[in-house]
Amino acid sequence: MIAKHTFLILMMSVGALTSAKAQDTVAMDLKACMRYAVEHSTKMRIAQADNRDAQIDRRDAILAAFTPTIEGGTYAYSNFGRSIDPETNTYIRTTSFHNGYSLSAGINLFNGFQAVNNLKITKTAQMMGLTKEQQTEDQICLATMEAYCNVLYYTELEKALEGQLATAEKSVQLVTRQEQLGQKSHADVVQMQSDLAERQYLLTTCRNNLNNAIISLKDVMFWPIEKPLKIVGLPQIPLPKGAGGLDSPTTGTENISQMVEFAKTNMPSVLLAEGTMKNARLALKTARWQLLPRLSLYSGWSSSYFTYPGMEGYVPTPYFEQLKNNGGEYVQLSLSIPIFDRLSSHSNIAKRKNAYDRAQADYEQALQTVEAEVCRAIADRDGSADALRQAATRAELQQEAFALNTKRFEQGLISSIEYQTASNNYLNALAEQLNARLQYFIKCSVVTYYSGTPYR
């Protein structure tokens, strides 16, 4: 029974380990990689912490505008030397004990609209924090997409090189046999062996690049470097007309002016620049209003208790009775008029004006940059579509040419150098087609992003 129980535990442990390994090797598509990258990114954590700070600033601005400041205090001390008797207002040399309490409140009735402007500034800053978080998320998604496509490129290239390597090995065997039969020379055998060595070198280099690309993708996603990561390929996208056998044109159908206007009012970079400009304008108004007088209201209450411990024949007034008798209240209305502050207010106004001018320039630059980026993205997408069409056509022709040259080489109609050239041309055509397809996918994603569709 014990042996059977131990066997069951061992089998359960093996099953758990097998399940854990299966979980470690779960394939992730591009959307899953983006989602994981956003959820685990340290940049997102920093942006979220900044948003929490903005929320705190907003709360503080609301409290400063509508609530007073309240302070309370107390003290207690003993006097062992010469002091003034609170009852007779004469000097005495008797040890005395004093205890007092105070409570005060104050509120600014007018301070140059500083509180109101701070409310507006913090509201804009809070919105800018959310926009900054969205911008960070978009940047992470785009970086993940590019790293993901690099991994996919080298993965597919590795498969093509493995096929080329297998073909090169068969060619070496064929040429070796033909040399034995007197149909090929030893130079042809050496040439094919050189081609085989080159294919092995290219495959090794590709695998090294693939490992580096995987590490880069893990770094972007904040994925544990030692943990395996498997991707499952690109999502289905409509290809340009004439590429890959599909007939779904996706270029030249947008209204560029509408896309530019949408980007100017919705892109995070523009919204951040606009928010900075609004806050700079409010800060300038606040600085100008600081030249006016300030009006404040204060009120308070205080009381005290005293006694002479050790004095013969002295009977102190009860504690709470003294607090009631010695209590006093006050209400104070304060008007502060700035007369001369060594031009610090004027210097502040000048600096705020310069900050506003800089913010205006940054906003105009952001609008210009976004417009250029939208036009560039559309041009890049259309250019990559043309490149993909040409690369697909070239790959089809090179594949057909390589198949024909393979037959001619097997029949001894072409030299090994010509066959190697045809093989290299076909491999380069495959690599360029794959690269063009991935570039087209990235460019299409950027264009749709500027149209209002998020990356994930």
Question: For residue range 119-164, what is the model confidence (pLDDT) as tens digits?
Answer: 999 999 999 999 999 999 999 999 999 999 999 999 999 999 998 8
- 47, 184: one domain: yes
Torsion of CA 111, 113, 114, 115, to 10 degrees: 100
Residue 20 lies in a domain: no
The per-residue pLDDT for 335 is 93
Pick from 138, 128, 135: nearest CA to 55 = 128
Residue 80 lies in a domain: yes
Place of tokens 């002479």: 308
What is the pLDDT confidence band of residue 406, given thresholds at 50, 70 and 90? confident
| 3-state secondary structure at position 234 | coil
Average pLDDT over every residue of 36-60: 95
Interaxial angle between packed helices 186-221 and 416-450, expressed in degrees from 0 to 180 and rounded to the nearest 10: 20
Residue 12 lies in a domain: no
The answer to whether 252 and 382 are in contact (CB under 8 A) is yes
- 179, 303: one domain: no
Whole-model pTM: value is 0.82
Average pLDDT over every residue of 272-296: 95
Question: Which amino acid is it at 126?
Answer: Q
- 98, 200: one domain: no
pLDDT digits (tens, 9 = 90+) for 273-284: 999 999 999 999
- 307, 230: one domain: no
- 241, 179: one domain: yes
The per-residue pLDDT for 80 is 84
- 280, 306: one domain: no
Residue 23 lies in a domain: no
- 313, 413: one domain: no
- d(C-alpha 291, C-alpha 287), whole Å: 8
Average pLDDT over every residue of 327-356: 94
- d(C-alpha 380, C-alpha 206), whole Å: 27
Residue 91 lies in a domain: yes
Q: 357: which 2 tokens?
A: 């001018």
The per-residue pLDDT for 6 is 36
- 61, 144: one domain: yes
Interaxial angle between packed helices 114-180 and 186-221, expressed in degrees from 0 to 180 and rounded to the nearest 10: 160
Residue 187: how many other CB atoms lie within 10 Å? 12
Residue 189 lies in a domain: yes
Counted domains in the chain: 2
Tell me the backbone φ, ψ of residue 237, rounded to 5 degrees. -130, 150
Tell me the backbone φ, ψ of residue 438, rounded to 5 degrees. -70, -40
Exposure of 411 in the CB half-sphere (CA atoms within 13 A): 7
The per-residue pLDDT for 236 is 66
- d(C-alpha 323, C-alpha 302), whole Å: 9
CATH code of the domain containing 281: 1.20.1600.10
The per-residue pLDDT for 238 is 59
The per-residue pLDDT for 124 is 95
C-alpha pair distances (Å), 134 with each of 112, 267, 363: 35, 10, 18
- 245, 305: one domain: no
Give residues with Cβ within 8 angstroms of 172, minimum separation 6.
189, 192, 193, 196
Average pLDDT over every residue of 443-454: 92
Tell me the backbone φ, ψ of residue 304, rounded to 5 degrees. -150, 165
Question: Which amino acid is it at 141?
Answer: C
Per-residue pLDDT for 21 more than 50? no
pLDDT digits (tens, 9 = 90+) for 83-108: 787 777 788 878 888 899 999 999 99
The per-residue pLDDT for 51 is 95
Per-residue pLDDT for 25 more than 70? no
The answer to which of 26-35, 259-268, 379-388, 416-425 has the lowest mean pLDDT is 416-425
Average pLDDT over every residue of 181-205: 87
Place of tokens 């630059």: 365
- d(C-alpha 167, C-alpha 154), whole Å: 20
pLDDT digits (tens, 9 = 90+) for 51-79: 999 999 999 999 999 999 999 999 998 88
| Domain that residue 414 falls in | 29-67+113-292+342-450
Torsion of CA 417, 419, 422, 426, to 10 degrees: -120
pLDDT digits (tens, 9 = 90+) for 253-267: 678 999 999 999 999
- 97, 177: one domain: no
Tell me the backbone φ, ψ of residue 99, rounded to 5 degrees. -145, 130
- 54, 168: one domain: yes
Average pLDDT over every residue of 223-232: 92
Per-residue pLDDT for 5 more than 50? no
What is the pLDDT confidence band of residue 252, given thresholds at 50, 70 and 90? low
- d(C-alpha 396, C-alpha 409), whole Å: 20
Q: Looking at per-residue confidence, does 314 or 390 come out higher?
A: 390
Q: Looking at per-residue confidence, does 353 or 241 come out higher?
A: 353
- 151, 220: one domain: yes
Q: Which of 306, 337, 368 is the last residue of a domain?
A: 337
